[in-house]
Amino acid sequence: MPITEIPIFSMLRTRMHWHQERQKLLSENVANADTPGYQARDLKPLSFDDQLRQSTALRMAVTEPGHLAGAGADPAAASTKPVTPWEVSPDGNGVILEQQMTALAETQANYQMATELYRKQIGMLKTAIGSKSSS
């Protein structure tokens, strides 16, 4: 079984991809902080139940090299939601830099936590198969 099919790795990979997409969206918000009428956006949070359901769902079997494997849900396609700003500037811009920087810091910390969990899981697999961990 490929490592990518192990549910914990699949969930962590989905989580890390969601954080990357959120980082891009929040960066767009910061870049448009001076654009009149621009409203900040954010990604809807990932649902743990949905992730669990997707990671344990049946997958199509690929028995020949020409078969398509099928793809799981793409977190990048997650819908965005408008952000309720703390205040709105006179030109209608709803980007509050402090709010965006707080969200960026939170996203970075959560991404680092997911990558550390991924690394720890790899270490556990190495221990289970008797390989020496180099971490």
Segment 38-75, tens digit of pLDDT: 999 999 888 766 666 665 554 556 677 776 665 544 44
Own/partner pairs for 3-8, CB < 8 Å, 24+ apart?
3/125, 5/59, 7/52, 7/55, 7/56, 8/121
Query: How much is the pLDDT for 113?
Result: 95
**Has residue 133 been placed in a domain?**
no
Query: How much is the pLDDT for 118?
Result: 93
Query: How much is the pLDDT for 82?
Result: 72
Q: Give, in degrees to the nearest 5, the angle at Cα 69 between 63 and 71.
A: 160
**Has residue 101 been placed in a domain?**
yes
Provide the whole-model pTM.
Answer: 0.69
Query: How much is the pLDDT for 87?
Result: 73
**Has residue 59 been placed in a domain?**
yes
**Has residue 134 been placed in a domain?**
no
**Has residue 53 been placed in a domain?**
yes
Query: How much is the pLDDT for 51?
Result: 62
**pLDDT of 76 over the 50 cut:** no
**pLDDT of 20 over the 90 cut:** yes
**Has residue 96 been placed in a domain?**
yes
Own/partner pairs for 48-54, CB < 8 Å, 24+ apart?
51/11, 51/14, 51/15, 52/7, 52/11, 54/10, 54/14
Helix (H, G, I), strand (E, B), or coil: what is residue 4?
helix
**Has residue 135 been placed in a domain?**
no
Q: How many domains does the chain have?
A: 1
Higher pLDDT, 116 or 1: 116
16 lies in which domain range?
Answer: 3-128
**pLDDT of 23 over the 90 cut:** yes
Comparing CA positions, the residue from 99, 97, 78 lying closest to residue 22 is 78
Mean pLDDT of 8-19: 90
